[in-house]
Amino acid sequence: QITLKESGPTLVKPTQTLTLTCTFSGFSLSTSGVGVGWIRQPPGKALEWLALIYWDDDNRYSPSLKSRLTLTKDTSKNQAVLTMTNMDPLDTATYYCAHRRRGEGYKIFDYWGQGTLVTVSS
């Protein structure tokens, strides 16, 4: 059974760096083909894909946010970590991590965490 859970601060100040951790079970980020995505959703708005970390560190980032994002993983702890620098009030959103369906060509997300609301305010 696959589960994911996001953790991190609920409130950050403008210009600060946000670090979110996705702790998962039921799969390993050291297994070929496995990936974990990060998606965010501002209150009342649409989903926005941020990044995707793969088992082989072939990470992908949204071009519009690439300069601010870093993905890392700790396979021994079954964790994926997203870091976003220079936070702005417009980054206020619920941040989700999600399991990427394994298989050629799949960049779809079949299991999601419950999400964590991050508010950016001074």
Rounded CA separation 91/42 (Å): 7
Query: What is the nearest approach in angstroms of another protein to the Cβ of residue 46?
Result: 5
Among 37, 73, 81, 87, the residue binding another protein under the rule CB under 8 A is 37
For another protein, the closer CB: 90 or 122: 90
Query: What is the nearest approach in angstroms of another protein to the Cβ of residue 97?
Result: 10
Query: What is the nearest approach in angstroms of another protein to the Cβ of residue 79?
Result: 18
Q: Does 109 bind another protein (CB under 8 A)?
A: yes
For another protein, which stretch binds (CB under 8 A), given 12-20, 23-31, 67-75, 106-114? Answer: 106-114
Burial 26-62 (b: 16+ CB within 10 A, else e): ebebeeeebbbbbbbeeeeeeeebbbbbbbeeeebbb
Query: What is the nearest approach in angstroms of another protein to the Cβ of residue 60?
Result: 5
Burial (CB < 10 A; 0-12, 13-18, 19+), residue 64, is: exposed
Q: How far is CA 15 from CA 34, 40, 66, 83, 90, in A?
A: 33, 19, 16, 13, 12
Using CB under 8 A as the criterion, which residues of the chain lie in contact with another protein when the complex forms?
37, 46-49, 52, 60, 62-64, 96, 98, 101, 105-110, 112-115
